[in-house]
Amino acid sequence: DTAVSQTPKYLVTQMGNDKSIKCEQNLGHDTMYWYKQDSKKFLKIMFSYNNKELIINETVPNRFSPKSPDKAHLNLHINSLELGDSAVYFCASNELAGYQETQYFGPGTRLLVL
């Protein structure tokens, strides 16, 4: 019973293609995130959704478009893939209890653009 799942786990594609990464959480959380991990292991926040509404949209190319059909899903669509998009992308969902925040990470999607 995986809490946060991502598909696919590995994605190898050609430059210029359009691809989607899916994320689902079965925890009932209202908030979900997409992060990009670079080669130095830094995690950069890309988007955050709260109950299907976009609340954080960091400076990412508009080739990246998040879609949240319901609060359990936050998918990431990437148009016209570039070499620099190669990275590991993590989805996460957030539980906020009072002032205590717990974040649950998915297993990551390893994207390689050739």
Partner 1 sequence: DQQVKQNSPSLSVQEGRISILNCDYTNSMFDYFLWYKKYPAEGPTFLISISSIKDKNEDGRFTVFLNKSAKHLSLHIVPSQPGDSAVYFCAASDSGGGADGLTFGKGTHLIIQP
Residues near partner 1, by CB under 8 A? 33, 35, 37-45, 48, 56, 87-88, 90, 99-105, 107-108, 110
Write out the two tokens for 85.
Answer: 């998009």
As measured in angstroms, the least distance from the Cβ of 43 to partner 1 is 5
Q: Which is nearer to partner 1, 75 or 109 (CB)?
A: 109
| Residues comprising the chain, all counted | 114
As measured in angstroms, the least distance from the Cβ of 18 to partner 1 is 23
Q: Which is nearer to partner 1, 80 or 114 (CB)?
A: 114
Rounded Cα–Cα distance for residues 40 and 110 (Å):
15
Q: Are 113 and 14 in contact (CB under 8 A)?
A: yes
Residue that is written with structure tokens 């190319």 in the block: 61
> Is omega for the bond preceding 61 within 30 degrees of 0, making it cis?
no
Q: Which is nearer to partner 1, 19 or 35 (CB)?
A: 35
